[in-house]
Amino acid sequence: DQQVKQNSPSLSVQEGRISILNCDYTNSMFDYFLWYKKYPAEGPTFLISISSIKDKNEDGRFTVFLNKSAKHLSLHIVPSQPGDSAVYFCAASRYGGSSNTGKLIFGQGTTLQVKP
């Protein structure tokens, strides 16, 4: 059972336009969500996160939106740059639980290509 899903394996956008990456989850107990970016032959690097008490978090060109009722989050990149071309993973966790282990559940990833 895939608790975190990224239904779009790939996305291609033009430089300067907006990139929107989507992620859905099924477990209503998740209370913390993260986006990671991964370049080939490197480990994932943390990009941005959001707690379930918020519905939006911004960091420069990156904004994450959380819709708890729809169990959906999205990552917006504006404006997109060629250097943003990478695989993006969303992840979810239950940090508020009494037995917090810090475990993350990852989606399958979306490959973003930003064309010059």
Partner 1 sequence: NAGVTQTPKFRVLKTGQSMTLLCAQDMNHEYMYWYRQDPGMGLRLIHYSVGEGTTAKGEVPDGYNVSRLKKQNFLLGLESAAPSQTSVYFCASTPGETQYFGPGTRLLVL
Which of 65/106 has CB closer to partner 1?
A: 106
If binding is defined by CB under 8 A, does position 102 make contact with partner 1? yes
Sign of the dihedral defined by the CA atoms of residues 77, 26, 33, 2, in that order: negative
Asked if residue 108 binds partner 1 (CB under 8 A), the reply is yes
Please report which helix (H) or strand (E) contains residue 20, including its range: strand 19-25
Contacts (Cβ under 8 Å, ≥6 apart) of 83 = 114
CA neighbor of 74 nearest in space, from 52, 56, 95? 56
Contact pick of 13, 77, 85, 89 for partner 1 (by CB under 8 A): 89
Residue whose CB is less far from partner 1, 27 or 108:
108
Q: Which region, judged by CB under 8 A, interacts with partner 1, from 11-19, 59-67, 73-81, 96-104?
A: 96-104
The C-alpha atoms of residue 30 and residue 39 are separated, in whole angstroms, by 27
Binding residues for partner 1, rule: CB under 8 A, are: 4, 6, 9, 32, 34, 36, 41-46, 49, 89, 93, 95, 100-104, 106-109
